[in-house]
Structures are given as structure tokens and as C-alpha cells.
């Protein structure tokens, strides 16, 4: 082993031209040479290591720079998408300043809109929704005359023909107690009173809420802007209390007409004083006012509503059944009464809409107030524009109001999950509602209507015959069906699958409504969930 070391060292020595015949001297000389070589080697290795470290640092720096750049770009992209997704804006309008207070009159409107990603703004911004507590079309006409496709307004031009007290009360309907404008129709009033002895009448005014029960001789016939309406005697009572029923209704389309009612719950309001012994001077016995008796304070309803967690509607139904009544027919008649009003008033709204370039920007939330007599016969009294949605007086009503609003915003497309920048993207729209979703009456369209679009009304619903406007109408109707939540269709009315339709059954409807009725019937025939 030592020889091997010597030979190697000798070779290195000779290469460095160190000559010495003394072996011991050679050995001594070998040591500094090895040290120098080790130093040179170490110096080389250090340089190489330093270079490797430099390369590694450079590579690391480049990688980190690329990653940082990607992160920054990703954040910018996310910010852009977030801005597009979140920046939906609404503003409110009313003569009352309180509507802008987040804890005021429209507290629940503000809260629900915030929860679904809207931020409050002003009319000067690029807004998506106007929520107006007052009828906005007189004061804001210049703003609302040329709306963009993505802008919605919570009122319909002309809906006042439904919500105006006199106009509604004097509508001919078996569901509306007889009413007369005064003094214009006093002769008709006298004649009706003479033919209906024992009838009592409520004297009302269109501009305020006061009502007074009077006999014919007590009524002021020259008061101006007043009307009288027959009073529904012998009302159905709960624990001795008279009540009214407030049903929330949404109008989403006219010509053709579509309206929905909120079945999740209804607002029951009870008179604070028991009805008997009756005294017309005590309004608390028969007039619903702000300080009404709520469901949870009515003894027979408190347990099912509070302890068992039923809705106001369910609590009433339970009570009615204990009294031998079946409320099923009552609810069906309530739907019929409200739908009939819309059918009778639709032409007024259509006429008013002629002053606006588009009819697609509007919807209307109303509350219809009804009463029932001791046989649960239904009478429609009022339709309220901008119904009260404040739970300040009755905090438990918060749930009802916020559920109504949440379901409303889904139904009319305000809580739309498609980003606004995709509204013009046909592929994005088709993934929600497309031609295959609105195709109906397949057997007839492939035979009877194959070569003739005018053979009958159903033929006009087949794809080759379908007008662009009707296609748009049905695509919107399909979206409403998908997002209706706890709303159910009032009009077109409920249908039966494969029902036999006669022309006279639809003759009271205009042509757009007849076509829409047949379209819903076609959908009902293949899917029973479309029947109601």
C-alpha cells in the first residue's frame, strides 16, 4: 500500500520537475506538493460549487418570478370575474326617505338583495334593479322609457288598474262584493239596495284607508272620490275573531298573461276584538288595521304555529278541519278569484305598455286581500301595490317577507346565476332554456301540422311555425318554471294531462293567451309537474 502511494507521489513529483536522490527528502517534498494540489482541487471545487449555487439561484429566481407573475395574473383575472359576478346594483325610489334606511321600511328588501350579491347604488349608476315603493312611471318616465335588457323594475305600467281600490271594487265578478262609485252611480246603488233588503255597505275612499259600515240612509252620496261596497256578513271566525287573508302574487308577463301566487305561506290578520256581540261603531270587531291580532296570539292557532312550527296557512287549515270545513275548495277559489282579475284587467296594462319600447323589463309583486264567510265562500276586497314588507311591528313576519322576496327574485331572474357578461351568449342561454325545452305537441306537429302552419292553433306552436316573439315568450316561461321556488302558477290555470280542449273553453282569451294555454297543456301532457 505504501509503495502504491510512493509511486503515485513520485509521478506527481517528476511532473513538477523536483529532482532529489534522497528518498527521505522526496518524502518531505511530496507533502507540500499534496497540500498544494489539495488546495488547488479545493479551489476548483469551491469555484464549481459557487457556480452551481449561482445557477441554482438564477433558476430559482426565474421560477419564482414566473410563479409570482402567474399569481398576479390569476388575481387580476379573479378580480375581473369577481367584479362581473358581484357588481350587480340596485336603487330604491320613494317619496319617503326611510326607504334608503337599511333598517327602515324596506329592511328585508335590502337584506335579501345583499345576500344574493347586489349592492345599493343610485340612479346615476349602471343599475340592474329599481325597487320602487311608489308607482314610478309618472315621475321617472324619462328614466324608464328606454331600459336595457338587463334592467328590471318592480312595477308594471298600468298595474294600477288592478291595485286601484275603485277600479277593482267595481269590477264585475262573482268573487267581488257589489260596489258603486258615488255620486256617479247612486241610482244603480239605490236600486240594488232596494232589491237586497238587509244589506250593509262599507263606505270607502280611494285616497285613504278609512272604512265605515253604514246602512243606506247614512251614506254620504255627494262626498266625491268615494264608493260603497256591500259588506260580507256572517264571516267565518277563528276563536270568535274575524280575519282577512293576504296572498302574495307576482305578475311576470302580459299578452300573454302569466301570474303566480306564493304558496309557501299567506298572511292571516285577525281583528283584535271578538266579532260578537257585533257593534258597527267598534272597528276593531270587523276592520283589519295596523294593530291586528297575529296568528301566534290566537289561542287555537298558537300551538300549531309556535310549538309545532306550521305556517299561518297550515295552522288555519288545521283549525278549519276541526270545525268540519274543508279549506281545499277555498284555496282553489282564491286562486280563481285572483286569476280572473288579471284576465279582466290585462288589456288595460297592454294598452299602457304601448308607450314603452319593451315589455320585458317589468314585474309586479302585489298582495291580494280576501275574506270568507261562514261557509268559506271567497270574497276579494283589495289588491295592494307595494305591500307592507316591514316586520318592525311583528318580528315573526320576517321569515314570510324574506322568503317571499327570495323566491320572487329567483322567479323573475334577478337572482340569475348566469353572469351578466354572458347574457348575449346564446350558448350560455341555451344551457338554461333551449328549443328542446319548449317543443310541444310532437305527434300533431309531425303529422297534421307538417305541411300547414295554419291548420289549427296548435300548429302555430310547432317549431317551423313558431314566431320569434312566441319563442322568446316560451323560453322565458320555461326559465320561470325552473326557478319558481315556492310560487305556483295562477294563470294559465292548473290543467289535467291529456285533457280534451274545446274551442269555446278558450274563447274568452285573446289569441296570445290561447296559444300560451295550449303550450302549457302540451307541456302538461308529457310532464305532470307542468300541470299546476
**Contact criterion met (CB below 8 Å) for 227 and 180:** yes
Residue pLDDT, tens place only, 158-201: 999 999 999 999 999 999 999 999 888 999 999 999 999 889 99
What are the domain boundaries of the chain?
A: 160-244+263-359+375-388, 425-530
Residue closest to 452 by CA, chosen among 442, 462, 443: 462
Averaged pLDDT, 67-73: 60
Cell of 42: 479545493
The β-bridge relationship of strands 88-93 and 118-120 is: parallel
The pLDDT score that the predictor gives to residue 65 is 57
Residue pLDDT, tens place only, 449-483: 999 999 999 999 999 999 999 999 999 999 999 99
The β-bridge relationship of strands 201-205 and 88-93 is: unpaired
Q: How far apart are CA 451 and CA 489, in angstroms?
A: 34
Helix (H) or strand (E) holding 179: strand 179-182
Averaged pLDDT, 374-395: 96
Q: How far apart are CA 389 and CA 108, in angstroms?
A: 7
The band of 438, judged by pLDDT with boundaries at 50, 70 and 90, is very high
The pLDDT score that the predictor gives to residue 427 is 86
Residue pLDDT, tens place only, 220-279: 777 666 789 999 999 999 999 999 999 999 999 999 999 999 999 999 999 999 999 999
**Contact criterion met (CB below 8 Å) for 434 and 492:** no
> Do you find a cis peptide bond into 311, omega within 30 degrees of 0?
no
Residue closest to 216 by CA, chosen among 233, 243, 196: 196
Q: How far apart are CA 179 and CA 184, in angstroms?
A: 12
In order, the DSSP letters of 114-129 are: HHTTEEE--TTS--SE
For residue 344, how many C-alpha atoms fall within 13 Å in the half-sphere facing its CB? 19
The pLDDT score that the predictor gives to residue 503 is 77
Cell numbers 270574497 correspond to what residue?
379
**Beta-bridge mates of residue 90:** 120, 129
| Average pLDDT value for the chain | 86
Q: How far apart are CA 458 and CA 506, in angstroms?
A: 13
Find all residues with CB under 8 Å of 458, minimum gap 6, and list them. Answer: 441, 444, 445, 448, 449, 518, 522
Residue closest to 154 by CA, chosen among 175, 140, 173: 140
Tell me what percent of the residues of the chain surpass a pLDDT of 90.
70
Q: Is 458 left (phi over 0), alpha (psi -120 to 50) or beta?
A: alpha
Residue pLDDT, tens place only, 83-126: 445 579 999 999 888 888 888 999 999 999 999 999 999 998 89
Amino acid at each position: 500500500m505504501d509503495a502504491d502511494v510512493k509511486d503515485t507521489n513520485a509521478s506527481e513529483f517528476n511532473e513538477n520537475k523536483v529532482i532529489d536522490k534522497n528518498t527521505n527528502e522526496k518524502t518531505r517534498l511530496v507533502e507540500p506538493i499534496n497540500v498544494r494540489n489539495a488546495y488547488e482541487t479545493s479551489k476548483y471545487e469551491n469555484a464549481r460549487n459557487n457556480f452551481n449555487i449561482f445557477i441554482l439561484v438564477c433558476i430559482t429566481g426565474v421560477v419564482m418570478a414566473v410563479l409570482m407573475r402567474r399569481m398576479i395574473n390569476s388575481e387580476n383575472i379573479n378580480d375581473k370575474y369577481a367584479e362581473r359576478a358581484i357588481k350587480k346594483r340596485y336603487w330604491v325610489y320613494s317619496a319617503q326617505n326611510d326607504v334608503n334606511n337599511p333598517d327602515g321600511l324596506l329592511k328585508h328588501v335590502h337584506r335579501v338583495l345583499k345576500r344574493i350579491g347586489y349592492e345599493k347604488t343610485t340612479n346615476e349608476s349602471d343599475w340592474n334593479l329599481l325597487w320602487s315603493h311608489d308607482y314610478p312611471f309618472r315621475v321617472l318616465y324619462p328614466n324608464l322609457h328606454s331600459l336595457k335588457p338587463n334592467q328590471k323594475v318592480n312595477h308594471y305600467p298600468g298595474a294600477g288598474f288592478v291595485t286601484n281600490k275603485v277600479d277593482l271594487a267595481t269590477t264585475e265578478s262573482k268573487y267581488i262584493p257589489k260596489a258603486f262609485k258615488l255620486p256617479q252611480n247612486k241610482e244603480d246603488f239605490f236600486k240594488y239596495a232596494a232589491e237586497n233588503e238587509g244589506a250593509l255597505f262599507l263606505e270607502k275612499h280611494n285616497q285613504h284607508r278609512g272604512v265605515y259600515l253604514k246602512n243606506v240612509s247614512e251614506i254620504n252620496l255627494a262626498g266625491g272620490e268615494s264608493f260603497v261596497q256591500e259588506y260580507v256578513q256572517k264571516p267565518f271566525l277563528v276563536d270568535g275573531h274575524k280575519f282577512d287573508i293576504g296572498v302574495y302574487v307576482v305578475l311576470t308577463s302580459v299578452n300573454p298573461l302569466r301570474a303566480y301566487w306564493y304558496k309557501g305561506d299567506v298572511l292571516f290578520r285577525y281583528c283584535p276584538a271578538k266579532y260578537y256581540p257585533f257593534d258597527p261603531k267598534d272597528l276593531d270587531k270587523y276592520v283589519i288595521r295596523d294593530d291586528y291580532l297575529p296568528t301566534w296570539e290566537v289561542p287555537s292557532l298558537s300551538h300549531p304555529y309556535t310549538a309545532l312550527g306550521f305556517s299561518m296557512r297550515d295552522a288555519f287549515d288545521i283549525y278549519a278541519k276541526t270545525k268540519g270545513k274543508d279549506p281545499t275548495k277555498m284555496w282553489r277559489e282564491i286562486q280563481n278569484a285572483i286569476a280572473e282579475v288579471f284576465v279582466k284587467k290585462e288589456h288595460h296594462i297592454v294598452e299602457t305598455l304601448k308607450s314603452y319600447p319593451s315589455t320585458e323589463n317589468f314585474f309586479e309583486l302585489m298582495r291580494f286581500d280576501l275574506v270568507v264567510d261562514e261557509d268559506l265562500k271567497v270574497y276579494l276586497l283589495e289588491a295592494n301595490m307595494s305591500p307592507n314588507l316591514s316586520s318592525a311591528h311583528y318580528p315573526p313576519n320576517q321569515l314570510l317577507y324574506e322568503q317571499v322576496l327570495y323566491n320572487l327574485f329567483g322567479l323573475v331572474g334577478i337572482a340569475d346565476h348566469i353572469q351578466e357578461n354572458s347574457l348575449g351568449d346564446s350558448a350560455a342561454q341555451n344551457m338554461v332554456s333551449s328549443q328542446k325545452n319548449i317543443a310541444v305537441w310532437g305527434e300533431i306537429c309531425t303529422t297534421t301540422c307538417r305541411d300547414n302552419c295554419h291548420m289549427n292553433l296548435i300548429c302555430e306552436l310547432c317549431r317551423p311555425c313558431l314566431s320569434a316573439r312566441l319563442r322568446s315568450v316560451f323560453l322565458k316561461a320555461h326559465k320561470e318554471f325552473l326557478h319558481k321556488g315556492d310560487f305556483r302558477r295562477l294563470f294559465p290555470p292548473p290543467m289535467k294531462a291529456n285533457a280534451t280542449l274545446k274551442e269555446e273553453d278558450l274563447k274568452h282569451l285573446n289569441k296570445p293567451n290561447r296559444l300560451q294555454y295550449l303550450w302549457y297543456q302540451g307541456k302538461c301532457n308529457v310532464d305532470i309537474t307542468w300541470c299546476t
